[in-house]
Amino acid sequence: MKEYRITQEGYEKLLNDLDYLVKNKRKEIAERLKEAKNSGGDLAENLEYEYVKNEQAFVEGRIEQINDILQNYVIVDKKINKDSIDIGSLVVVRDLDENKNKKFEIVSSVESEPENMKISDESPLGKALLGRKIKDEISVKIPGKVLRLKVIDII
């Protein structure tokens, strides 16, 4: 079984997500299924029913996924040791081509939110940053280009 390394914040978010899915989303879907069934006609031709069944399958899959994570997790502390980058580290890097600083938080794949600069430890950038120290320079191949970065700070 895979062990999931997550931060305390990630753990709490998973608990909240699970609680919402089990207590709220399941009931909502059950009501919508009931309404779709009661609308009459052949269920095989009822697009709303099919849509809600697909949503139900997605929700149940997510509940199963969260339960699996919660049975196989280890909480990692936010980095107190700023010598090298690990999960929980806030990292400031200098993009050597754009000459701009960027700030990332390295998180587990479970907690990844690239739009919020939370980069998965399993992503190409996350993998390249893990274990690095201040002043290290790295090149990371991402779709369409190669990033050249220098680690400025580990917060």
CATH architecture group of domain 90-154: Roll (3.10)
**How far is 100 from 67, CA to CA, in rounded Å?**
40
CA-based nearest residue to 55, from 17, 19, 25, 23: 25
81-101 pLDDT, tens per residue? 678 999 889 999 999 999 999
Give the residue extent of every domain in the chain.
4-75, 90-154
* Residue 73, phi-psi category: left (phi > 0), alpha (psi -120 to 50), beta (remainder): beta
Best CATH choice for the domain 4-75 from the list 3.40.190.10, 1.10.287.180, 3.30.1490.20, 3.30.420.40: 1.10.287.180
10-34 pLDDT, tens per residue? 999 999 999 999 999 999 999 999 9
pLDDT, mean over the chain: 91
The residues with which 27 forms a beta bridge, in sequence order, are none
Asked whether the CA dihedral 41, 42, 44, 50 is positive or negative, the reply is positive
Identical fold, 4-75 and 90-154: no
pTM of the model: 0.76
